[in-house]
Amino acid sequence: MNSEVIRIVIIIAGILLMSVSFLMHSYKKITVNFTVMWELLGIMLVLIGAVPVFSQWTKQLASGTGFAFFCVGAIFLFEEFRSSVMLSQLFLKTQEMAMHISMLNQENERIMRDLEKLECLLEEKHEKKEKKDTVCS
């Protein structure tokens, strides 16, 4: 791979990374923090590929080395993106579980208040019955 092809591939990878991270965020598969991180990394890749000052190093790579570099970089980016998606899913599930627990706690408190009211009513009824029985005796 010559230096121009490497630069074009780096630009395409940056654009692809930005678009995929934006789509994953819009589908609620990735959190905002990870989306911003991947968007910034995509912008950096586009700048590295587009600005000649940042991509001078591509001229020093041999063709096989450039291809190997691209493959290793692509695998690394894919795995890290997949890891951030999994972490985001865990964060979202944790937040959902916390909301469910909160709602269950509120329902439990309501049931406990209702139970206390019923206990008070039963005690009052029981006291009235005892008074009635003592009066009748």
H or E element that contains 32: helix 32-50
Boundaries of every domain in the chain: 3-136
C-alpha R_g of the chain = 32
Question: What is the phi-psi region of residue 28: left when phi exceeds 0, alpha when psi lies from -120 to 50, beta otherwise?
Answer: left
Residue corresponding to tokens 């009748």: 136
Query: DSSP letter at 28?
Result: T
Instruction: Go through the chain and tell me how many residues it has.
Output: 137
pLDDT of 75: 93
pLDDT of 1: 62
0.85 exceeded by pTM:
no
pLDDT digits (tens, 9 = 90+) for 5-38: 888 988 999 999 999 999 999 998 899 999 999 9
How far is Cα 108 from Cα 114, in angstroms, rounded to an integer? 10
Higher pLDDT, 115 or 5: 115
Taking residues 88-99, what's their average pLDDT? Answer: 94
pLDDT digits (tens, 9 = 90+) for 26-79: 998 899 999 999 999 999 999 988 988 877 777 777 777 777 888 898 899 999
pLDDT of 103: 97
- The structure tokens listed for 124 are 């009052």
pLDDT of 136: 67
pLDDT > 90? residue 129 = no
Q: With bands split at pLDDT 50, 70 and 90, how would you rate the model's confidence at 113?
A: very high
pLDDT of 128: 81
